[in-house]
Structure 1
Amino acid sequence: MYFGKDVRMRADRLVSLVLLLRQRGRMTADEISAELEVSTRTVLRDMNALSTAGVPIYVDRGRHGGFSLLAGFRTELTGLNHDEALALLTAGSGRGEKIFGLSAPLASAMRKVVDALPEAHREKVGDAARRFLVEPEIDLLSRRLISEDMAEGVMNDVRRAVLSGRKLRFDYAAPDKPPRSHTVDPIGLVTVRGRIYLLAAKSGEDRTYRVSRMLSAEQLPQAADRLTQVDLDRIWAERSAQFLSENHLPVIVRVRSSRREELLNTARALRVEEPEPDGWLRLDVAFEDLRHAVWAIWQLDIDAQVISPETLREALTERARQVSALYQS
């Protein structure tokens, strides 16, 4: 009879149990049972196995008792199985660490993870990770992803202020405006299509800043005025909706599904998307202004049809008339 799978499952559970006690401290059998989703009888059996193997587990009797590890006890076991280690290494091959200025720390962490794995396990995971490529710098059509340049040191100071909960002062160059100094309460960082945004509050008002437009940044000693808990998904959705409602041109357009990405690469935002028959999509998108919309839609030739607004339809009709007259002459 083959017990390989059961043995691996129990080994993973024992490692999880040790790591759980290291992170939580004293725990009761019922708490461990709920956390690991096993019976209390299994927990007691596993505790006995760990103690027999030399892991210094202490049992405190009584109403407030439980299991705990000897203070300062550490183990060389990482607790990572093949898929967990592979997930870490694959995530480390993406662009997030570059975007948030974490390349060096991530590389150091990955080295520690790999070094802690058994040699045979290390080779398999390393080979597997090399077979995944996350967010390459160019897509299948050789279009390079957006990559914003930032002033030296700005990202590190912004990130530190966000994580430490300190106020942040920076010089900011908005489009067509002279640079201005801002002091804000940082809330969080969001990256979208290669662009990084700082969500913050200034004098109690919501503010969103493009980090690439910061000329310098400095973390201040004063504590930021912000909530201890944050829901960045909700905040970003709210600010995105507000941003789209101000100074943007809403456009409803039909486009062939094969050209969808081209359209979204030029649009400022996608509001609504609905499928239509025969491989077409109906999109509600936002453009900077009429000129921007004409330029973007024109690139798609006959694979896009504007439904509204009428001003955009008229502008495209006039442009088509001018092009037609040019070639007729």
Structure 2
Amino acid sequence: MRADRLVSLVLLLRRHGRLTADTLARELEVSTRTVLRDIEALSVAGVPVYAERGRHGGFSLLPGFRTELTGLNHDEALALLTAGSGRGEQVLGLGSALASAVRKVVDALPESRLATASDAARRFLVDPETDLLSRRPVTDEVPDAVMTEVRRAVLAGHKLRIHYAAAGQAPQWRTVDPIGLVTVRDRGYLLATRAGEDRTYRLSRVVAAEELPEAAQRPNRVDLDRIWRERSARFLADGHITVLVRVNPARREDLLDTAVAVRAEEPDEDGGLRLELTYQDAWHAEWALWQLGTDVEALAPRSLRVALRDRAAAIVARYEDPS
């Protein structure tokens, strides 16, 4: 851990020229005292780092202290820099590791490629914090300690003990055989088996976790994409409701935001869109379609049409002019 931090410290100084101890501490997520100890360790090791006193002082490296990585072309460097701007890594707790890796890549790029790649990366924005309607994305919060234990067990192939709070239930301890980790729309999931049965756990509901020394019962090779598709199909078939709707194309995205899944989509002869959607249950479907008013029409099942009609009739009766 300290060796990685020392490398990151050197790369930060290489990149920015001069930084204060407080700034370095924030970047490295350590205390100022730790930064000062690291600076001293670098000096003892022969790294040419020196302090500048005064109001605008800080720590710097002697010019020319760098290595070059010539194997990356422009598009490869751009891909790495752009990946470092996304938020997906936050779900699996790899944000700090990715930031450190990007610093190393940036520092190793030849000067001729560094300027153009950095400028190009600034023109790409991946997953901003808000969309055009100023809606902030909902990202699952997973404690670092929990994510570290889960990730270690997955990579080491060890059994995992988790304190898991299923929806509407109190947390319970359970021991699982972890298979892999999946992120979907800033939500993280642990794919595992328990007593030989397939299980999918939402990471934000894991209250505590402990990697166990026993080897997990799982195959040596895994196709996470296939496993995820299979489990998604089973999930959608278990207790959900499928509805057929006609929607104004301008409200398509609003409608999709409320659905669990889209099963089919085709243009309608009147210029609208026909979609076959999956919702959690009848109440969920009724609530979702009600939000869009007359921009959407439920075509099937009939019970959903009746529920929406009765709701509309009740609203009309409530606001009817008594006079």
- What's the TM-score once normalised by structure 1's chain length? 0.74
Distance in 2 of aligned mates of 1:321 and 1:256: 23
User: SS of 2:121's equivalent?
Assistant: helix
Quote the residue 2:81 is aligned against: 89
Quote the residue 2:114 is aligned against: 122
**1:137 partner amino acid:** E
Match of 1:232 among 221, 224, 228: 224
1:104-145 CA-to-partner distances (Å, cap 9, x unmatched) read 111111011011111231111111111100011111111111
Distance in 1 of aligned mates of 2:273 and 2:84: 35
1:95-244 map, 5 Å = 95-244=87-236
Distance in 2 of aligned mates of 1:136 and 1:116: 27
Identity fraction in percent: 61
RMSD (CA atoms)? 1.5
Distance in 2 of aligned mates of 1:173 and 1:179: 4
- The answer on whether the counterparts of 2:70 and 2:110 sit within 8 Å (CA) in structure 1 is no
User: SS of 2:193's equivalent?
Assistant: strand
Match of 1:321 among 310, 313, 319: 313
User: SS of 2:181's equivalent?
Assistant: strand
Give unpaired runs (5+ residues) of structure 1: 1-74
User: SS of 1:266's equivalent?
Assistant: coil
1:135-171 CA-to-partner distances (Å, cap 9, x unmatched) read 1111111111121222341112111211111111101
Give unpaired runs (5+ residues) of structure 2: 1-66
- The answer on whether the counterparts of 2:160 and 2:177 sit within 8 Å (CA) in structure 1 is yes
Q: Does residue 236 of structure 2 align to residue 253 of structure 1? A: no
Distance in 2 of aligned mates of 1:145 and 1:270: 20
User: SS of 2:257's equivalent?
Assistant: helix
Change in 2 beyond 3 A, CA 1:202/1:255? same
Distance in 1 of aligned mates of 2:96 and 2:107: 17
Quote the residue 2:50 is aligned against: none
Distance in 1 of aligned mates of 2:251 and 2:157: 43
Quote the residue 1:17 is aligned against: none
Match of 1:267 among 259, 262, 268: 259
Aligned-residue offset at 1:327? 2.2
**1:151 partner amino acid:** P
Quote the residue 2:17 is aligned against: none
Quote the residue 1:282 is aligned against: 274
Distance in 2 of aligned mates of 1:94 and 1:269: 24
1:29-87 CA-to-partner distances (Å, cap 9, x unmatched) read xxxxxxxxxxxxxxxxxxxxxxxxxxxxxxxxxxxxxxxxxxxxxx9534101111001
- What's the TM-score once normalised by structure 2's chain length? 0.76
Change in 2 beyond 3 A, CA 1:140/1:277? farther
Change in 2 beyond 3 A, CA 1:123/1:265? same
Distance in 2 of aligned mates of 1:260 and 1:163: 40
Aligned-residue offset at 1:278? 4.6
Runs of 4+ in structure 1 off by over 4 angstroms are none
Aligned-residue offset at 1:233? 1.3
**Count of aligned pairs between the two proteins:** 255
User: SS of 1:153's equivalent?
Assistant: helix
Aligned-residue offset at 1:272? 2.2
User: SS of 2:161's equivalent?
Assistant: strand
Distance in 1 of aligned mates of 2:297 and 2:111: 58
Greater gyration radius: 1
Distance in 2 of aligned mates of 1:166 and 1:252: 45
**2:155 partner amino acid:** L
Aligned-residue offset at 1:312? 0.8
Distance in 2 of aligned mates of 1:217 and 1:310: 46
